[in-house]
Structure 1
Amino acid sequence: MEYESFFEKAFGGGKKPLPYQKRLAESPDLPEILMVPTGLGKTASVTLAWMYRKTQKQENRLPRRLIWCLPMRVLVEQTLENIRQWLKNLGLENEISTHILMGGSEDVFKPTWASQPEKLSILIGTQDMLLSRALMRGYGMSRYQWPAHFAQLHNDALWVFDEVQLMGPSLFTSAQLEAFRRQFSLLLPSRSLWVSATLKPEWLATVDLKPFISGFKTEEIDEEDRNHPIVIQRIRARKQLHRAESSLTKESAKEKYKQYIQSLSQEILEKHQTGTQTLVILNQVERAQLLYQALQKNSKDTEILLLHARFRAMERRGIEEKIKETGKNRILIATQAIEAGVDISSATLFTELAPWSSLVQRFGRCNRYGEETAASIFLVDLEESDQATPYEPQPLTDARKEIDSLLATEDRNAGPEALPVLKDELSPSLVLRKRDFLELFNTDADLSGFDMDISPFIRDTGIPSVQVFWRNFDDKPEDQPPPSREELCPAGISQIKAHLKSISAWVWDSMEENWKSLQMNAIRPGMVLLLKSSDGGYDPAMGFRAGLKQTVPPAETGENGEKEIYGSDPLSTLGRFVSLREHLEDTEEEARKLCEALGLPADSTHAICLAALLHDTGKAHPAFQSALTAHGEAPEKGLWAKSAVQGKRTVYRMPPEPGEEKGIERKHFRHELASMLSWIKNEEENHAKDLIAYLIAAHHGKVRMGLRAMPGEKKPKDDILFARGVWEGDVLPAIVLEKRTIPETALSLDLIQMGEGPMGASWADRTQGLLETHGPFCLALMETLVRIADWRASKKEMEGNHE
């Protein structure tokens, strides 16, 4: 199918691609930079070009995953809905999967993007959700799943960064990550594409990407595009600029914006044209909420809507559905979140002063398609010295000069063709360096229980960086299940701290397996916090609001997430007994299929498949075998990998010695550590010995770069080494497989100590050596493929599909 027909079919017929959209799909290589005026279909151009090249042209060198990284959470669903409609019209909905990346746990037995790396998929999310995963610190998700997402966001991934002028520090982080992918090895190719109507290529010239910039290709609209009727209508759309009568001063800020909000609400109602949509964009959520209240109180027949980043999914979707209804007599109040890829137009626009690149985006939401004969923009000035947040004062001063110049022209036209060339200068205050990035590969928390704070590399101060949810309970959460994704609401660190001055929040402790009360000073970016419904803090029409006392209705979703527990092993309780041999050989088979589907090189395939064959040999440990049979008798004697029991808490105990009522508990027992120690002990000659040891140990994400005893582990009476429930001298029985036999093995933990020992180099030295040799991207993908093979084998066994 030719691209023009493909494009028309995606839109249901009648809509042809613009010249630049056709060039993007048919040129030999995609560009690194796409600069196109707002309203000319950048999302469709990139997405449909990727779909066409992957499904019609079968371009193997183009990544399997398309990743849309948006600056704000608002209207991510709009992008998803458009893409799903294109896929449906093209008949590709079963060939290409679509996913929104949010917080919350994932069921590994469901076909998610992370469990199907060989499939074509489109991921959509905010820079918080996507870049935190790309930095191995995924916000709002299990830390044990971090490596699986990290691996697949850096291998076989085409990143698209949309509306870069809104990205803040994430813009420079995105550039550094692209540089690292060019410096370290990749098992599968990945690349980046930066998209905006307002982008200066030199913004991407960070310390590590700068050497590559000269080879970047930029795609822009050309003369053929400019002469196209649709482009003419949109870039020549007229919108007259005015200075609003209302302005934000130091005095009105001191009285909590009372006078400012009152004045602005009256002016908006006076300028609003009945039967049309007026859009109001304010720079702070608090002011937007106050304006919403004022307009609700003073307007009669006009629909008033509020949209910002701090809503639960349930309420946000309701607002989005209303926004889709065109021809309404409506006033929509929003924050700068509306700038990011939102397909919306208005006859009248009010906007507070912002940096020039942001104003260009906001102006693009007025008379977006040239459909209005009389459209107006009202610029609301503010005293930037005190009211600049979340922006710096200087960019506002520069933007004011541009506004003054436009207001001095005869027609005061603020249409795309009339706007001056972008002059904003962006400079990073903090840049992610290679050393910092490599340190993030270790997913163990430090001794204080905290992780390296990545928020400065993702967001400017004050932007939402934690997620909260509400539940009904009396005093303590007790057995409250984790949240579903639908319940989560973004909130800023400063806002949540303001809300918690006299109330409590709880966070799940995966080590102690309970909800732990949290003090304000212990809150960290990326946390998921449980709040009591009766403590308030949320209004379905206004979103999160610190100090709001009304009871919050819990989100009724009908589902909950899975509790993150360090010692848990849900894949081992499938509903039927599965022998250890069967599971090991099933996993090797799945790993081989996966490597072949991805076209991996022979050496990587060998290491992955051998690690898959041996990944669970540690399940032969007496503590694990007794745990599997504690709630149900096995059908016969033997070594088991899976139990028929489901839903029971796993307690690992050694078989009781004579005279003992029950054996000694091995808290935090990790079978994969025993598997790795067995391999190290028995394998004499193998050039990939350390790599295979790492892949065996890391297949649950709980034993990776570091190896030490965990808090709460009981020290053996004898002064022997111990870690993760494994003790020096523990014996694994012999395991007979079709391809090899693993002899009875007495385990040694010598390698948890520093320096050289009887077993050779320490575990820390071995893993650091692997990171240096293979790089973070290859190493993470190999461990992830072993894990996925384990998931697939377990699913097949659960469904009884073993051949």
Structure 2
Amino acid sequence: MSFANFTELFQQATGNPNPFPYQARFAEAENLPELVHAPTGAGKTATAVLGWLWRRFFANKPTPRRLVYCLPMRVLVEQTRDEARKWLKNLGFEEKVKVHVLMGGEDAEEWDLDPEKPTVLIGTQDMLLSRALNRGYGMGRFRWPMHYGLLNNDALWVLDEIQLMGTGLATSTQLQAFREALGVYGTVKTIWMSATLLPRWLASVDYRNRIEPELRLTTLQLDQNTDYRADGLRERWEAKKPIQRAALLRAAEQEEKAEPVASTEVVFTADESAKVAEFVKAKHCPGSLTLVIVNTVDRCRALFEAIRTLYSPKPRGRGKNATPSAPVPAPDLKLIHSRFRPKEREEWRSWLTAKELPALGRIIVSTQVVEAGVDLSARTLITELAPWPSLVQRFGRCNRRGEFPGENGTDPAQLFWIDVPTPATGAKKSLAPPYTDEELDQSRTRLATTRDVGLKSLTEFFDRLNGDERNALFPFDPPHVIRRKDFIDLFDTTPDLAGNDIDVSRFIRDGDEIDVQAFWRAATPPRGELRAAQASRIMPAREELCTVKIGDFRQFLEDHTAHRWDSLASEWIGADASAVYPGQVYWIATAEGGYDTQLGWNPSADWSADLWIRDPATESASETTEEPGYDTEFLSVYGWQSITEHTRDVLEALTTILKELNLNEVPREALALAIRWHDWGKAHSVFQDAIRDEPDGVGKRPKQHTGKRDIAKAAPEEVWQRYKRKHFRHELASALGVLTLLKSEHPPDGWKALDAHLTNLALYLIAAHHGKVRLSIRSMPDERTPDTPGALFARGVWEGDKLPAVDLGGGVSAPAVAALDLSPMLLGQVDSQPSWAERVLRLRDDKAKPEDTAPRFGPLKLAYLESLIRVADMRASKAADEKAKKPKGAQS
């Protein structure tokens, strides 16, 4: 399918007559803007997705391969995914461009295995920023470098509703500065979008020179004379949204026989759930949508239950004489917040996107999760006091398209705000969190004199503000800003000896908003060390995971038990409240409770028999190539192959990837050499001894592999037994074997032509091709020690180990090494040779020439090349396994 212009593509994708003028300007511009300032409901998602698609496939403009769409809220990421998939299907692009959600849990379609393909990635700032920082939340630690490499190279980042991102916004600007300074493959650009956007928000320490003293970024804004006169936007621009403070009308008490007294207004605050519920019921208009937005999950749940109680039948009589009363006619009541599982959230879409409402209408009680990415238009909006940028987003969820004009007898829109106590109101205890007292006080002052919050009114209001007033109403002072040294240090994924990592949560969300994830199973996890395939089968699927505030989960653990996966020990261990960190995933047995279908995460809830849980024995999670632990060879549990055969397949896979990528600056020779030698270490006796010759009950070795000691792949899993040396890593043996040869008088062919940088690169890629041996080489606390006192050892490889000769294919043979040298694991030089850490640090930090501004490789390019090697290895392994499983007559 081809299109003459962007308008034709837009029409085909959306079914709408024409794009808005600003959408066409975005798609057709010579260079993409960095800032997009557009109101809620103006189609920013379609602007980004369809604009990227047009430029990538039809406009012949240099455009990154991956579109990374980052949202501040997790609750309705799926809605953005569904819209993008619908557009691509309408265009006939559903196979050419895949859409993936990054949410934690297993992903049936592993986007990172297709680095050469155009891809749309959608996720929250938690999932995307943590991966861009090499500490990916909700995913296996050994796959962190792949996402780190792919998200920081050849990618267009679009951050939507940035006014809600807090600290994450500063991290996004720093990341863009680091990419420009450290170097990437392809192009990486960031676009920041919002209805309320001040350029100074982007002035983080390393990005400030693009903002001050003068703005050097391109801004795309809507024009009143063109954009707001277009059909569809004109109605939104002119829509009236009258607002007032919420108050109940109450008849005053009076003495008997006295004259009637007029009703009085009784104002109330957010902590008075019963009064708020009464007000919501009074203001709801039958047949319409009422949206109530509350600032915290606890108040949201309490209000929902209070409203549900008001509409519940009251028993007649008391005690034993009580009888049920008739059902009370009630609107459809719904609750939305971020502490639901995706399984339940999937059901929301049917009523969130429904064009028809029930006869009595619907009341939705929600937290601020509806502020971004939710296409709702309520007739009645009731909101707690919030920071002004948040209020602007909330106002955009009422009379969104001007469908409630209130003229000529039509239904009018109505908006109300509920005060939240702060010290400025005389409150002893502030209820401002997660916001600050100052933010709420500023909003309260402005709302006191505001009568309409329609788009036109808000724009005119903003234009009247001077610089100081804007800064006060739109503050931004992130408490933590990641610095260049911090970012570079995150390249190293080696945990400390206790298995802990650098905590990046302070760079992703503000302190009280950080989370863990929990899932429920019928029983506690199996005890002890698990085999790789068994561990993979019981890992959580995405639809099981519930996001939980980290403080709430620590409190839950005071009276309940849970378990988390220890990747170093390859087992599930009991959770310790003092060792709960952001992004961790926890297994909870259903007997512990903690979840309710209607209320979501609820620590006091017992488990209901009708709640869905996944049974790993009958409900398959997605297939994964992630190795669950340090001491597993999951990728080796595939169809039988020799080292020669597997090496050939991996080289073919790499050739396919590089041809499609067409990146001239990629050092192809070093990559090919790394693959040629990457599995030599599988010839090590520890690896070969782990493969049984004739395991009982699971069949014999294929004839061509009988008695051989050059096996790279073997299946089924029962063929394998545990390594005689715990934590053995064949890739470390491969790299040390090559290093030993390079120090000899006759280094192997192919290596002589490489300079020092490329030699170190090839060595690094050999060692890092499973994500487990990267910057440092060190032994594990529970490793078996060598028989020779004082001998060096690490990851099951011992000083003096032999490495047999092996045919590596392509006319290359690895000679036998009589004794592996582990001195590179030591700090400092040995025999004038740099240590392993020094070699990798040179790759990460050194420039090719003194006058260069960026390192020759740097952490981002290095991780990208590492990803390409790993992808080629994984794809070759999966392809060989699929071929082996086919009937012989079906194989080509």
Is TM more than 0.5 here? yes
* Correspondence for 2:184: 186
Residue of structure 2 aligned with 1:226, choices 225, 228, 237: 228
What residue is the counterpart of 1:271 in the other structure? 283
Counterpart in the other structure of 2:52: 50
Moved more, 68-77 or 563-572: 563-572
- Partner Cα distance (1:569, 1:175) in 2: 39
Instruction: Name the residue aligned to 1:251.
Output: none
The residue that corresponds to 2:437 in the other structure is 393
Return the match for 2:366 from 327, 334, 342. Answer: 334
1:257-656 matched pairs, under 5 angstroms: 260-299=272-311, 300-328=329-357, 329-373=361-405, 374-385=412-423, 386-406=430-450, 412-419=451-458, 420-421=461-462, 423-473=473-523, 481-551=538-608, 553-556=611-614, 558-560=619-621, 564-574=628-638, 576-601=639-664, 604-629=667-692, 631=695, 632-633=700-701, 635=703, 636-648=706-718, 650-653=720-723
Shift of 1:642: 3.6
Paired letter, 2:383: T
Shift of 1:227: 1.9
State the Cα deviation string for residues 356-384 of structure 1 (Å, max 9, x = none): 01100000000001011200110101113
Deviation sequence 1:710-732 (CA, Å, 0-9, x none): 13211112121111011111111
> What is the identity, as a one-letter code, of the residue corresponding to 1:11?
T
The structural deviation recorded for 1:616 is 0.7
Give the whole-Å Cα distance in 1 for the aligned partners of 2:871 and 2:582.
29
Answering whether residue 780 of structure 2 is matched by residue 710 of structure 1, we say yes
Please state whether the residue corresponding to 1:600 is helix, strand or coil: coil
CA–CA distance in 2 between the matches of 1:439 and 1:475? 34
Out of 792, 795, 801, the residue aligned to residue 724 of structure 1 is: 795
Looking at structure 1, the residues matched to 701 and 92 of structure 2 have their Cα atoms a distance apart, in angstroms, of 50
> Of the candidates 5, 8, 17, which is equivalent to residue 8 of structure 2?
5
1:592–1:605: 8 Å Cα contact kept in structure 2?
no
Change (3 A) 1:279 1:64: same
**Hey, what's the Cα distance between the residues in 1 that align with 2:829 and 2:876?**
37
- How far residue 641 of structure 1 moved from its aligned partner, in angstroms, is 3.9
Give the aligned partner of residue 810 of structure 2. Answer: 738
Q: Secondary structure at the match of 1:601?
A: coil
The count of corresponding residues between Structure 1 and Structure 2 is: 772
5+ long unaligned stretches in structure 1: 248-256, 407-411, 654-664
**Match of residue 682 from structure 1:** 741
Separation in 1, partners of 2:553, 2:606: 14
In structure 1, the residue matched to 2:132 is: 134
Q: In 2 relative to 1, CA 679–477 (structure 1 residues): closer, same or farther, beyond 3 Å?
A: closer
Give the Å deviation of 1:85. Answer: 0.9
- Secondary structure at the aligned position of 2:511 is classed as coil
Matched to 2:345, the amino acid is R
Say what the alpha-carbon RMSD is for the aligned residues.
Answer: 2.0
Change (3 A) 1:388 1:649: farther
SS at match of 2:605: coil
Overall identity of the aligned pairs, in % = 40
Q: How does 1:13-92 map to 2 (within 5 A)?
A: 14-59=16-61, 61-92=62-93
Please identify, of 733-742 and 695-704, the stretch whose mean Cα deviation from structure 2 is larger.
733-742
Question: How many angstroms does 1:413 deviate by?
Answer: 1.5
Structure 1 Cα separation of the partners of residues 523 and 877 of structure 2: 36
Structure 1 residues 229 and 586: CA distance shift in structure 2, 3 A: closer
C-alpha distance in structure 2 between counterparts of 1:28 and 1:303, whole Å: 49
Whichever residue aligns with residue 738 of structure 2, its letter is W
Equivalence for 2:104: 103
Name 2:266's counterpart in structure 1: none
User: How much does 1:106 deviate?
Assistant: 4.7
Shift of 1:792: 1.8
Q: Deviations over 1:398-429 (max 9, x none)?
A: 111111121xxxxx221011012154121121
Counterparts of 1:195-274 in structure 2 under 5 Å? 195-213=193-211, 214-222=215-223, 223-245=225-247, 260-274=272-286
Q: Which position in structure 2 is the counterpart of 1:762?
A: 835
Partner of 1:253: none
Helix, strand or coil at the partner of 1:705:
coil
- Give a deviation string over 1:622-649, Cα, whole Å, max 9, x none: 1111213354535234343444422338
Tell me how far 1:800 sits from its aligned partner.
2.7
Tell me, yes or no, if the aligned pair for 1:572 and 1:641 is still in contact at 8 Å: no
DSSP-derived class of the 1:732 partner: coil
Contact 1:135 1:437 in 2 (8 A): yes
Q: Which residue of 2 aligns with 1:252?
A: none
Unmatched 5+ stretches in structure 2 = 250-268, 312-328, 406-411, 424-429, 463-469, 847-856, 885-890
CA contact (8 A) 2:710 2:806 kept: no
Residue 250 of structure 1 corresponds to none
SS in 1 for 2:120: strand
Q: Which moved more, 1:563-572 or 1:666-675?
A: 563-572
Name the CA distance, whole Å, in 1 between partners of 2:665 and 2:453: 59
Q: What is the CA-CA distance between 1:242 and the residue it aligns to?
A: 1.0
More deviation in 788-797 or 27-36?
A: 788-797
In 1, the alpha carbon distance for the partners of 2:589 and 2:881 equals 37
1-structure distance, mates of 2:524, 2:23: 57
| TM, length-normalised to structure 2 | 0.84
Q: CA–CA distance in 1 between the matches of 2:867 and 2:479?
A: 34
Answer yes or no: is 1:799 the counterpart of 2:885.
no
Three-state SS of the structure 2 residue aligned to 1:176 is: helix
Write the letter of the residue equivalent to 1:294.
A
Alpha-carbon shift at residue 606 of structure 1 (Å): 1.5
Q: Which amino acid aligns with 2:298?
A: E
In the alignment, the residues of structure 2 paired with residue 8 and residue 603 of structure 1 have an alpha-carbon distance, to the nearest angstrom, of 39
- Cα distance in 1 for residues equivalent to 2:601 and 2:555: 12
**1-side partners of 2:720 and 2:144: how far apart?**
23
Do the aligned residues in 1 keep the contact of 2:740 with 2:820 (CA within 8 Å)?
yes
1:263 to 1:501, Cα distance in 2 relative to 1, 3 A: same
C-alpha distance in structure 1 between counterparts of 2:36 and 2:364, whole Å: 30
Change (3 A) 1:477 1:401: farther
TM-score (norm 1): 0.93
Query: What is the aligned partner in structure 2 of residue 657 from structure 1?
Result: none
1:747 to 820, 823, 826: 820
Q: Does 1:692 align with 2:762?
A: yes
Once residues 714 and 701 of structure 2 are traced to their aligned partners in structure 1, the CA distance between those partners, rounded to angstroms, is: 9
Report the residue type matching 2:630 in the other structure: Y
Structure 2: distance between partners of 1:366 and 1:34? 22
Shift of 1:511: 2.6
Q: Does the Cα contact within 8 Å between 1:66 and 1:159 map onto a contact in 2?
A: yes
Aligned partner (choices 863, 867, 870) of residue 787 of structure 1: 870
Q: Which letter maps to 1:732?
A: L
* C-alpha separation in 2, matches of 1:784 and 1:259: 51
How far 1:620 moved relative to its partner?
0.8
Specify the code of the residue in structure 2 equivalent to 1:582.
E
